[in-house]
C-alpha cells in the first residue's frame, strides 16, 4: 500500500505520496523559476482562510498570463482531497502553477502549456511554539530585495536567492533569520514572512516591495479590531532596532516575536504584551467558521 503519512501531492491529475511526486527537468518552473504559488495551512483539521489564498493564487496566475484547467471550486476540492488522503490535522498545503514546457526548440512562453501541482506536508514552522516563548534573533541583511519594478512582489514567486543569501549572512552573524532591505535600508520582508514594529499603540509595517501576506492582512484586521493604530509605510531598520516590540507574520507559524536584532535586545528582551495579545487572537480565529473550513476526514 502507498504511504501517505509524510504527505501527498497532486501531479498529473492524481494524488500520490509526496515521495512519488515528480516534475520534468524541462519545465520552465524549474529552469527559469517561472512559476507562481500559494500556501495555506490546516490547523486542528480546519483550513484557515482557504478562499483568500485561492483568490490570491488565481490573481497571481492572471498577472503572469498563466491558467489552469480548474475553477476555484475545483481547486478547493483538490486541496481538500489531498489533505484527507494525508490524514494530517496540522498541515502546510501548497498550490503551484508553472509555465510548463514549450514546443521543442521554442523559447516563446506562449508555446508553453501551464502545469498545476499541489502538495501537503506536515505543518512547517518558522519559529516553533517553544522558540516563540523566547523570541527570534533577526539579522538585518545587507542583501537587497529584488525591486518591485523588476518582479511584482504581490505575485508569490520562487525568486528567493536574495533571501537565501540573507539567511546565510544571518547564520554567519549568529542570527536565526534575516530580513532584506531596499536601496535606502528600509526593511522589506524575510524568507516567507512580513515584519511589524510596535511603539505604544501603533503598529508599523512596510507598505511596498513585499508580498502582501494573508497573515499580515489578518494581523492588520486584528490590530484594528483591538484598538491599535496601524501604519503602512517605509520602515527603516533603525526604527525596528529602537521599537518597543517587533514581530513577524507568516502562514508558517502565525505571529512570532522578535526579541533581538543584530545582536541588540529589542524592548524588554521578551515577547511583548501587544505581540502576545495578537498571537492569542490569531489562534482563536482558527476556530471561527467565518475564517475556517472544517474537514471531514471520514
Residue 1 has pLDDT above 90, yes or no: no
Average pLDDT over residues 82-104: 97
Residue 266 has pLDDT above 90, yes or no: yes
The predicted-structure confidence for 176-231, as pLDDT tens digits, reads as follows: 999 999 999 999 999 999 999 999 999 999 999 999 999 999 999 999 999 999 99
Cβ–Cβ < 8 Å for 241, 262: yes
Question: If we measure between CA atoms, which residue out of 9, 45, 36, 56 comes closest to residue 215?
Answer: 56
Q: What is the fold, at CATH topology level, of the domain defined by 8-122?
A: D-amino Acid Aminotransferase; Chain A, domain 1 (3.30.470)
Q: Where are the domains of the chain?
A: 8-122, 129-286
> Would you give the DSSP letter of residue 147?
P
How far apart, in whole angstroms, are the C-alpha atoms of residue 248 and residue 206?
Answer: 12
Q: What is the fold, at CATH topology level, of the domain defined by 129-286?
A: D-amino Acid Aminotransferase; Chain A, domain 2 (3.20.10)
Percent of the chain surpassing pLDDT 70? 100
* Angle (nearest 5°) at CA 172 between 166 and 270: 85
Q: What is the mean pLDDT of the chain?
A: 97
How far apart, in whole angstroms, are the C-alpha atoms of residue 47 and residue 83?
Answer: 10
For residue 90, give every residue at least 6 positions away whose Cβ sits within 8 Å of its Cβ, in sequence order, or none. 41, 42, 43, 44, 122, 123
How far apart, in whole angstroms, are the C-alpha atoms of residue 60 and residue 48?
Answer: 20
Q: How confident is the model at residue 3 (pLDDT cuts 50, 70, 90)?
A: confident
User: Cell 512562453 sits at which residue?
Assistant: 109
The predicted-structure confidence for 110-155, as pLDDT tens digits, reads as follows: 999 999 999 999 999 999 999 999 999 999 999 999 999 999 999 9
How far is CA 55 from each of CA 39, 112, 158, 192, 272, rounded to the nearest angstrom?
12, 23, 19, 19, 33
Amino acid at each position: 500500500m502507498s504511504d501517505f503519512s509524510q504527505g501527498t501531492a497532486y501531479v498529473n491529475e492524481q494524488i500520490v505520496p509526496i515521495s512519488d511526486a515528480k516534475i520534468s527537468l524541462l519545465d520552465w518552473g524549474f529552469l527559469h523559476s517561472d512559476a507562481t504559488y500559494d500556501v495555506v495551512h490546516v490547523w486542528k483539521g480546519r483550513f484557515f482562510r482557504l478562499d483568500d489564498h485561492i483568490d490570491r493564487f488565481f490573481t497571481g496566475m492572471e498577472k503572469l498570463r498563466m491558467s489552469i484547467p480548474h475553477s476555484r471550486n475545483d481547486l478547493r476540492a483538490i486541496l481538500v482531497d489531498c489533505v484527507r488522503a494525508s490524514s494530517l490535522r496540522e498541515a502546510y498545503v501548497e498550490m503551484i502553477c508553472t509555465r510548463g514546457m514549450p514546443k521543442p526548440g521554442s523559447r516563446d512562453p506562449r508555446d508553453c502549456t501551464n502545469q498545476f501541482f499541489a502538495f501537503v506536508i506536515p505543518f512547517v514552522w518558522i519559529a516553533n511554539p517553544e522558540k516563540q516563548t523566547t523570541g527570534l534573533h533577526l539579522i538585518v541583511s545587507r542583501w537587497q530585495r529584488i525591486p518591485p519594478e523588476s518582479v511584482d512582489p504581490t505575485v508569490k514567486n520562487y525568486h528567493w536567492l536574495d533571501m537565501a543569501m540573507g539567511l546565510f549572512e544571518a547564520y554567519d552573524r549568529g542570527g536565526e533569520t534575516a530580513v532584506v532591505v531596499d536601496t535606502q535600508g528600509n526593511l522589506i520582508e524575510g524568507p516567507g514572512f512580513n515584519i511589524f514594529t510596535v511603539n505604544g499603540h501603533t503598529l508599523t509595517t512596510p507598505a511596498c516591495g513585499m508580498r502582501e501576506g494573508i497573515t499580515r492582512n489578518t494581523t492588520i484586521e486584528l490590530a484594528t479590531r483591538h484598538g491599535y493604530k496601524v501604519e503602512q509605510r517605509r520602515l527603516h531598520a533603525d526604527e525596528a532596532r529602537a521599537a518597543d516590540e517587533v514581530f513577524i507574520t507568516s502562514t508558517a507559524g502565525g505571529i512570532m516575536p522578535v526579541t533581538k536584532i543584530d545582536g541588540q535586545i529589542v524592548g524588554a528582551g521578551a515577547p511583548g504584551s501587544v505581540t502576545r495579545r495578537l498571537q492569542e487572537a490569531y489562534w482563536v480565529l482558527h476556530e471561527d467558521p467565518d475564517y475556517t473550513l472544517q474537514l471531514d476526514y471520514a
